[in-house]
Amino acid sequence: MPTATIIGGSIAGLFTANALIQKGWNVTVHEKVESPLSGRGAGIATYDELADLVFKATGNNQVLGTKAKTRVSLDIKGNINSSYDYPQVYTSWQYLFSLLRNNIKNSKYFMNDDCIKIIQDDESATALFSNGKKKKSDLIIIANGMKSVIRKYVDQNAIPQYAGYVGWRGVVNEKDISVESLKILSEYFVIVLPFNQQIASYPIAGEGENPFDKGNRRINWIWYKPATEKDLKKLFLGKSGKQYKDGIPPNEILDQVLKQLLLEANNILPPQMYELIIKTSQPLIQPIYDLESNFMVNKRLITLGDAAFTARPHVGMGVTKAAIDAFTLSNSLSSNNYLNNLSKWEKNRIKAGKFLVNRSRELGIYLSKSMKNETLIMPDILNVLSDTAISLYEIKNHSID
Ligand SMILES: Cc1cc2nc3c(=O)[nH]c(=O)nc-3n(C[C@H](O)[C@H](O)[C@H](O)COP(=O)(O)OP(=O)(O)OC[C@H]3O[C@@H](n4cnc5c(N)ncnc54)[C@H](O)[C@@H]3O)c2cc1C
């Protein structure tokens, strides 16, 4: 039985593990974090192609989350001023993770395994971990996300690029939101475009019983705001005095930074969005990056998921792309001379990855320019409503594989 070592125990690693096990591979998954993963990315837009691949991976044929039929935008008073019908299901990262993880035996999933080095020869590849462990196998799948430090074994020039803006994020329980605001927030995917910015919200599963029922769900929001490298320094200065670089633990965010956020929310956002922000107990901030690779295969080493290509969130495609990477790979690996099939797989996935990264850059182009730039032209809201987070089947000139 051929063997694969998967580095990274999140969405891409788990899709790949499920897909390879189905093809008869002996797989182990190695995750650097010590305790179970939770709550990353919060809300995830889904598509039929993702639901199909979740079914293929896990046998789950239930609806993946909450549904909204229409996307709307609001004026500053909170009235709907544009709408676009696009029925869609929204799930949470946690829900998807649990489905995928429950399908993998505990004896095959290892936590506290931080891969620090990889070596390979003609016969095998070996992953070395900071805890002293070594794992030899036929293939190593590098699925350890955008910040991967072992991607260099496949493509040493693939480096994440800062997009020039941040996403402030949070979730609020429906039961904590006013009836007036819920009329909009629990019905629609909402996108509002303040100058040089975007804020979006949609309902996602709650955490208790009957998580998809109205009233039990949560509203997920993300507010994209431009931030220069200099701004990032200020945003990432912690209460403890520590200067963070790529992100800051939420409880370290300075009170004055949050106060400024609320002030601006009150001034430029519709009341429903302001309510979301003021009722979020601990907003998170995340600098937006993207990443492209020119190689995804080096003999017995393969990168996939965000470790190979990270598109900005506007395409809402990270999870779906990871699932497609995984299943197209497992198809390529199902014959005896599988190493020979990898270059075709690589070529196709690089094409798909570049397409998505470029599209996400186009969709986010107006978010990274400075407010002072008078030449900045904001997009038509109807285009934003109809282009954000849509199925690959609906993007013109694109085939899924
Ligand atoms: C704000 C936001 C909104 C988004 N919205 C959507 C959406 O609507 N739809 C959608 O499809 N996608 C969305 N995404 C993207 C999606 O969340 C990601 O594409 C997806 O989670 C990537 O999964 P991954 O497994 O490739 O990487 P990650 O989730 O980053 O996982 C990598 C894993 O590898 C582990 N790891 C790292 N280094 C090592 C090591 N050396 N050894 C062992 N383990 C290691 C990490 O701890 C981590 O668990 C969004 C992303 C953001 C930021």
| 213 and 345 share one domain | no
Give how far the C-alpha of residue 77 lies from the chain's centroid of Cα atoms, to the nearest Å: 31
**Candidate of 6, 28, 31 to mutate for ligand 1, largest count of ligand atoms within 8 Å of Cβ:** 31
Average pLDDT over residues 129-155: 98
- Domain containing residue 222: 66-87+162-289
Do 325 and 216 have their domain in common? no
Say if ligand 1 is within 6 A of residue 167 CB: yes
The percentage of residues in the chain with a pLDDT greater than 90, rounded to a whole number, is 84
Assigned domain for 12 exists: yes
Q: What is the 3-state secondary structure (H, E, C) of the chain?
A: CCEEEEECCCHHHHHHHHHHHHCCCEEEEECCCCCCCCCCCCEEECCHHHHHHHHHHHCCCCCCCEEEEEEEEECCCCCEEEEEEEEEEEEEHHHHHHHHHHCCCHHHEECCCCEEEEEECCCCEEEEECCCCEEEECEEEECCCCCCCCHHHCCCCCCCEEEEEEEEEEEEEHHHCCHHHHHHHCCCEEEECCCCCEEEEEEECCCCCCCCCCCCCEEEEEEEEECCHHHHHHHCECCCCCECCCCCCHHHCCHHHHHHHHHHHHHHCCHHHHHHHHCCCCCEEEEEEEECCCCCEECCEEECHHHCCECCHHHCCHHHHHHHHHHHHHHHCCCCCHHHHHHHHHHHHHHHHHHHHHHHHHHCHHHCCCCCCCCCCCCCHHHHHHHCCCCHHHCCCCCCC
Residue 299 domain-assigned (yes or no): yes
pLDDT reported for residue 92 = 85
Torsion angle of C-alpha atoms 245, 158, 315, 233, degrees rounded to 10: 10
Query: Token match 């901030």: residue?
Result: 285
Which domain CATH number covers 32? 3.50.50.60
CB of 37 shorter than 6 A to ligand 1:
yes
pLDDT of residue 142: 98
Instruction: Provide the pLDDT confidence category of residue 231 given band limits of 50, 70 and 90.
Output: very high
User: Tokens 């829900």 map to which residue?
Assistant: 95
Helical packing angle, 11-22 and 318-332, nearest 10°: 30
Predicted TM-score (pTM) of the model is: 0.94
Is pLDDT above 80 for 61? yes
Q: Are 183 and 166 members of one domain?
A: yes
Whether residues 211 and 272 share a domain: the answer is: yes
Same structural domain for residues 55 and 103? yes
Give the closest residue to 73 by CA, choosing from 372, 339, 380, 342.
Answer: 380
Out of 35-49, 67-81, 177-191, least confident range: 35-49
Radius of gyration of the chain (CA): 21
Answer yes or no: do 9 and 147 share one domain.
Answer: yes
State the chain's mean pLDDT as an integer.
94
Q: Kindly report the protein residue whose alpha carbon is nearest to atom 29 of ligand 1.
A: 10
Q: What is the pLDDT of residue 35?
A: 80
How far is it, in rounded angstroms, from Cα 273 to Cα 223? 10
- For ligand 1, say whether the CB of 65 is within 6 Å of any of its atoms: no
Report the distance separating Cα 308 and Cα 302, nearest Å: 9
The two tokens of residue 192 are 């509002």
pLDDT at 145: 97
Looking from the CA of residue 322, the nearest atom of ligand 1 is 26
Pick the last residue of a domain from 255, 273, 289: 289
How far is Cα 391 from Cα 49, in angstroms, rounded to an integer?
8
pLDDT bracket for residue 63 (50, 70, 90): confident
Q: Which amino acid is at 256?
A: Q
**Same domain? 295 vs 323:** yes
Tell me: do 205 and 231 sit in the same domain: yes
- 378, part of any domain: no
Ligand 1 atom at minimal distance to the Cα of residue 90: 8
Give which of 41, 45, 94, 51 is closest to 67, Cα–Cα: 45
Together in a domain, 244 and 356:
no
pLDDT at 39: 57
Q: Is residue 79 part of a domain?
A: yes
Q: What is the pLDDT of residue 212?
A: 85
pLDDT digits (tens, 9 = 90+) for 122-139: 999 999 999 999 999 999
Classify residue 401: in a domain, yes or no: no
Residue-level pLDDT at 370: 63
pLDDT recorded at residue 140: 98
- CA-wise closest residue to 29 among 138, 184, 142: 142
Task: Give the domain-ending residue among 228, 255, 289.
Answer: 289
pLDDT value at 90 more than 80: yes
173 and 215: one domain? yes
Q: Provide the number of structural domains found in the chain.
A: 2
User: Sign of dihedral through CA atoms 97, 103, 106, 107?
Assistant: negative
Query: Whole-angstrom Cα distance, residue 205 to residue 199?
Result: 20
Query: Is the same domain home to 257 and 276?
Result: yes
> What pLDDT, on a 0 to 100 scale, did the predictor assign at position 193?
98
For the record, the structure tokens of 86 come out as 């696009």
Ligand 1 within 6 A of CB of 320:
yes
Tens digit of pLDDT for each residue in 331-377? 999 877 888 889 999 999 999 999 999 999 999 999 986 656 668 88
The residue whose CB lies within 8 Å of the most ligand 1 atoms, and thus the one to mutate among 6, 7, 10, is 10
- Answer whether 364 contacts ligand 1 (Cβ < 6 A): no
Q: Are residues 190 and 270 in the same domain?
A: yes
Does residue 397 belong to any structural domain of this protein?
no
Cβ of 316 closer than 6 Å to ligand 1, yes or no, is yes
Dig out the tokens for 116 from the structure.
Answer: 């620090």
| pLDDT band at residue 41 under the 50/70/90 scheme | low
- Residue from 226, 224, 155 nearest 191 by CA: 224
265-307: pLDDT as tens digits: 999 999 999 999 999 999 999 999 999 999 999 999 999 999 9
What confidence category does residue 95 fall into, taking pLDDT thresholds of 50, 70 and 90?
Answer: confident
Residue 21 lies in a domain: yes
| pLDDT exceeds 60 at position 60 | yes
Determine, yes or no, domain membership for 375. Answer: no
Domain final position from 235, 258, 289: 289
Q: What is the CATH classification number for the domain harbouring 262?
A: 3.30.9.60
Mean pLDDT for the stretch of residues 227-253: 95
Is the C-beta atom of 111 inside 6 A of ligand 1? no
pLDDT in the model for residue 38: 65
pLDDT at residue 334, rounded to an integer: 81
